[in-house]
Amino acid sequence: MKLPRFLSRFRSSGTAKEPLPEPEVVATPVEAAPARSRMERLNHWLTPVANVGVLLGLAVLIVEVRQNASLTRTAMDQQKNDLLAEIEFNIAKPEITDIWVKSIRAPEELSDAEIRTIDSLLISIMLQWDQMFMMQDAGLISETRVRQHIQNTAPFYFGSRFGKHWWALQINGWEGTAMQKVAGSIVEALDEHFLDSHLDKLKLLPSEELTTDPEMPE
């Protein structure tokens, strides 16, 4: 059905109405500054605490290292003494004592087997000294103490003709080491008659040779 012209005009004008503009949505910024400020304050307090914890940890570690070094020094020192005592116990055995004394009094009369026995004893002494040098290299003992120990023990093992002869044959294998530089100079300076005289000095004179006591006052 065809509408009158005036009605169709109204209908077309209604359909041509423009849509209303949508309201503009403005995003509200999120304020992150307060959260960031809290984190900064937290880091400000935590950083010194962490540094203190690190320092305390280092202090504990230093104490533990020093304690371990002290225990290691004591253990190695005891091991050194045990080795020296074992050498002395072996020399004190009757069958070894006779050979040891012969090497001092009459080294020319030593048999091959007896030479080998003395050889093992003197090697043990060198190994004991070498342990002292290792302790020095590890910072567990001073060079002065090592030198003093060798000076105190060397005469009683190398202070004989055989001992110095044996040392001269062995020391070439230690060239450039502390054994040669420190112990070598000490042994080479020893009196080759020291042990011979030492045994004589240990003997007690017969009673008739002792100096008579002065007369008692009346």
- Tell me the residue type at 121: L
pLDDT in tens, 154-198: 999 999 999 999 999 999 889 899 999 999 999 999 999 999 999
d(CA 132, CA 146): 6
Alpha helices in 110-160 (DSSP H): 112-137, 143-153, 155-158
pLDDT in tens, 64-101: 555 565 656 677 667 777 878 888 888 999 999 999 99
User: What pTM did the predictor assign?
Assistant: 0.62
d(CA 92, CA 101): 11
Contact 125, 87 (CB under 8 A): yes
Can you tell me which residue has the tokens 């070498």? 130
Q: What is the Cβ-side half-sphere exposure of residue 72, based on CA atoms within 13 angstroms?
A: 14
CA dihedral (96, 102, 105, 110) positive or negative: negative
Tokens of 105: 């009094």
DSSP state of 17: P
Tokens of 204: 């007690």
d(CA 81, CA 96): 21
DSSP string across 156-195: HHH-SHHHHHHHHHHGGGGTTSHIIIIIHHHHHTS-TTHH
d(CA 68, CA 29): 61
Measured N-to-C along each axis, helices 194-202 and 94-105 cross at an angle, to the nearest 10 degrees, of 120
Report the greatest alpha carbon distance in the chain. 180
Contact 69, 77 (CB under 8 A): no
3-state secondary structure of 19: coil
CA distances from 21 to 13, 15, 16, 25, 28 (A): 19, 17, 15, 12, 21
Phi, psi of 23, deg, nearest 5: -65, 140
> Greater confidence, 217 or 120?
120
pLDDT in tens, 18-69: 555 555 555 555 554 455 566 666 566 656 656 666 656 665 655 555 556 5
